[in-house]
Amino acid sequence: MNQELSSGFTIAANAPIAVALAISALLFVIGLVGFLCRRNMIIMFLCTELMFQGAALAMIAFARLRMDVSGQVFVIFILTVAAAEAALALALVVLLYRKRETLSADAWSDLGES
């Protein structure tokens, strides 16, 4: 492991790739913070989409680093999954909204312990 890390571990061959990686991390973390903080259910899902963005950007950056197109192919699949998930999630959110007439996530804590 020592060998691999010190000799074969190239993080960023040039600056743009490094910046892209940093941005992907920031996007992911901002999405995480937003998911934890916002109480509007739809905006919570939007923040998960932001996390997807971060992950996708990291994929692209590494595809560029390794000159391999597989990363980009994977981003296409991420897109697919995000679309499917967004459709179903929004349908469920609408159903929940109709039950309680509010988009607040605090309305749904029936499964709590206390």
Partner 1 sequence: MTQLTSIPQAIIAPELSWVGLALLLPLLAAVACALCCALRVKGKAAAIITILALAASFGIIVKAYFAYTGPVQVPIFQWITFHWGTGRFQSFTANCGMYIDTLTLYWMLFVTGLGTLISIYASEYMEGDCGAGYSRFFFGICVFLFSMSALVLGDNLIMLYLGWEGVGLASYLLIGYDYARPAAVAAGKKAFIMNRIGDLGLALGIFMLWANYGTLQYSELFAAMNKGGQTSVNWDLSVIPFLLMLGAFGKSAQIPLFTWLPDAMEGPTPVSALIHAATMVTAGVYLIARMYPFFELHPQALATVAWVGGLTALLAATIGMAQYDIKRVFAYSTISQLGYMFLGLGVGTTFGACYHTLTHAFFKALLFLTAGAIMHGFAGQLDLRKLSGLRHLPGWRIVSWTMLVGCLWLSAFPYTAAFFSKDAILLKALTSVRADFRFLGWLGLFTAALTAYYTFRVWFRVCAGPLHFEPGAEGHHEPHDTHDTHDTHGKPDPASVAKSTHAFHPHAPRWAINGVLLILALGALVVGVPAYNKAFAHKDNWAQQMIAGSSAMEGAGLAEDHGAEASEQHPTVLGMDAHTGLTVVGCTASIGGILVAWYLHLRSRKSADQLRAALLRRWWIRWVPICMENKWYVDEIYHACFRLPMWLGAQILSFGDRHFLDGVMVDGLAKIPVAVGKVFKPLYGGALQGYAATMAGGIALVVAWLSWVWLRGFN
Partner 2 sequence: MVPTIFYAACAIAAAGLALLLMQSGSKFRMGATILGLAGIAWILVIVVQTIPTPASEIGPLGLMILCAFVSVASAVRVITHHRPVFCALYFVLVVVSGAAIYVLLSAEFVAFSLVIVYAGAILITYLFVLMLAQQSPADIGAADAVDYDRIAREPAGAVIAGFVLIAVLGGSVFSVSEQKAESILDQNRAIRQGWGDLSMMPKLLLEQARRTDSTVTAVIARKDGQMIAVQTDHSAIISVQRADQMTPSDLTLAPSLLPDNTSRVGMALVTRFPVSLELAGIILLMAMFGAVVLARKQTDIADDDRRELAGLGKVMDGSQSIQGKAIR
Residue 65 binding partner 2, by CB under 8 A: yes
How far apart, in Å, are the Cα atoms of 22 and each of 4, 63, 95?
Answer: 23, 15, 38
The binder of partner 1 chosen from 12, 32, 46, 103 (CB under 8 A): 32
What's the chain's length in residues? 114
- Minimum distance from CB of 99 to partner 2 (Å)? 9
Within 8 A by CB and 6+ apart from 13, the residues are 65
Taking CB within 5 to 8 Å according to partner kind, which of partner 2, partner 1, none is near residue 100? none
> Residue 46 CB, nearest distance to partner 2 (Å)?
6
Residue with tokens 């595809």: 63
User: Is residue 100 a contact residue for partner 2 (CB under 8 A)?
Assistant: no
